[in-house]
């Protein structure tokens, strides 16, 4: 399809925009509620409930990443963890009929504002150059240049990504560093640009904790709780990620263990830098337009 044939006013793009508008509001409201002593579970449930109140649905569980954590951390059932003087990343998603928006923001309670600023300014620089015909490696170069300028490292094994229908991560990947081979963006592409900055080495590894899962394949199980969980997963979440705490069956953890053992669902381990280091994150969703890009998750008033 040529650029002139892409209609950015179709229902698909309107759903992306609607999801982004809801998400921008929820991101700001949620970030304002993050304070020392507030519980992770309270913040996650506030954001997820607010999304539903505004007419959307969570595209994935609210990620609440602390200090060295970068992604896939979300509260467990009955979680009593509270915020301290830490670096806190909130990664939130909304979908409307499976059309997605994805955003993230760092709330710094750790006293390291420049690290939070590095990822924020890297995102601004990336958005400024994003237009049809640009290669994703060039966007990565902008991100890397800004973060390097602050004296930090980009997290090189995490990337931005495309957003599909009922798919949170699709091609193309948007790297957080310069790469020689990338994908050329075209009018109509919907992508999440997602810089991560760190005072560590710039590579994350898998931790031991898993609270987020998604459907791997269709299957059948004998256990009642596992069957109930699978029915909810396939009907409500489809292929989108979900949290253990979202499952309505009793003994949800046991049900998920059975589904995972049968390769029906797979988990997302928490991704983290080495202990003692910090990670910041900022993310927007954009639609590639004929003259640049449209930021669907921008706060009201952003140009």
Q: Express the helix, strand and coil content of the chain in percent, nearest 5 each.
A: 30, 30, 35
The reply to whether 165 belongs to the active site is no
194, 199, 210, 211: the catalytic one is 194
67, 102, 142, 199: the catalytic one is 102
- CA 240 to centroid of chain Cα atoms: 12
Helix (H) or strand (E) holding 171: strand 167-174
124, 135, 167, 169: the catalytic one is 169
DSSP letters spanning 216-276: -S----S-HHHHHHHHHIIIIITTS-EEGGG--SSSHHHHHHHHHHTTSEEEEEEEE--TT
DSSP letters spanning 15-70: HHHHHHHHHHHHHHHHHHT--TT-BHHHHHHHHHHHHHHTT-EEEEEEEEEETTEE
| Three-class secondary structure of residue 289 per DSSP | strand
Number of neighbours of residue 197 by Cβ within 10 angstroms: 32
120, 142, 199, 283: the catalytic one is 283
Q: Which two tokens stand for residue 233?
A: 């997963």
The reply to whether 194 belongs to the active site is yes
The reply to whether 117 belongs to the active site is no
Spatial contact of 279 and 67, defined as CB atoms under 8 Å apart:
yes
The reply to whether 169 belongs to the active site is yes
C-alpha span between 131 and 22 (Å, rounded): 24
48, 91, 108, 189: the catalytic one is 91
The reply to whether 32 belongs to the active site is no
161, 210, 273, 284: the catalytic one is 161
**Residues labelled catalytic:** 91, 102, 161, 169, 194, 283
């Amino acid at each position: 399809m040529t650029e002139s044939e892409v209609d950015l006013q179709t229902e698909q793009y309107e759903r992306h925009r609607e999801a982004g508008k809801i998400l921008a509001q929820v991101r700001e409201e949620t970030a304002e509620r993050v304070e020392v002593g507030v519980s992770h579970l309270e913040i996650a449930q506030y954001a997820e409930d607010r999304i539903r109140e505004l007419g959307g649905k969570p595209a994935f569980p609210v990620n609440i990443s602390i200090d060295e954590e970068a992604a896939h951390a979300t509260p467990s059932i009955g979680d009593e963890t509270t915020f301290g003087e830490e670096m806190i990343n909130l990664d939130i998603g909304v979908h409307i009929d499976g059309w997605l928006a994805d955003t993230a923001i760092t709330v710094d309670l750790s006293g390291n504002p420049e690290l939070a600023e590095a990822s924020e300014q890297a995102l601004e620089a990336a958005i400024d150059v994003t237009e049809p015909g640009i290669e994703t490696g060039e966007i990565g170069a902008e991100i890397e240049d800004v973060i390097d300028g602050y004296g930090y490292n980009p997290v090189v094994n995490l990337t931005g990504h495309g957003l599909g229908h009922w798919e949170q991560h699709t091609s193309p990947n948007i790297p957080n560093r310069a790469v020689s081979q990338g994908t050329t963006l075209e009018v109509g592409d919907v992508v999440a640009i997602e810089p991560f900055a760190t005072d560590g080495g710039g590579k994350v590894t898998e931790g031991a904790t898993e609270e987020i899962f998604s459907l791997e394949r269709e299957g059948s199980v004998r256990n009642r709780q596992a069957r109930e969980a699978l029915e909810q997963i396939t009907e409500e979440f489809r292929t989108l990620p979900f949290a253990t705490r979202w499952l309505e069956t009793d003994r949800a953890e046991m049900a998920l263990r059975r589904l995972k053992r049968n390769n029906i669902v797979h988990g997302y381990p928490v991704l983290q830098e080495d202990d003692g280091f910090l990670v910041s994150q900022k993310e927007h969703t954009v639609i590639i337009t004929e003259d640049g890009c449209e930021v669907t998750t921008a706060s009201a008033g952003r140009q």
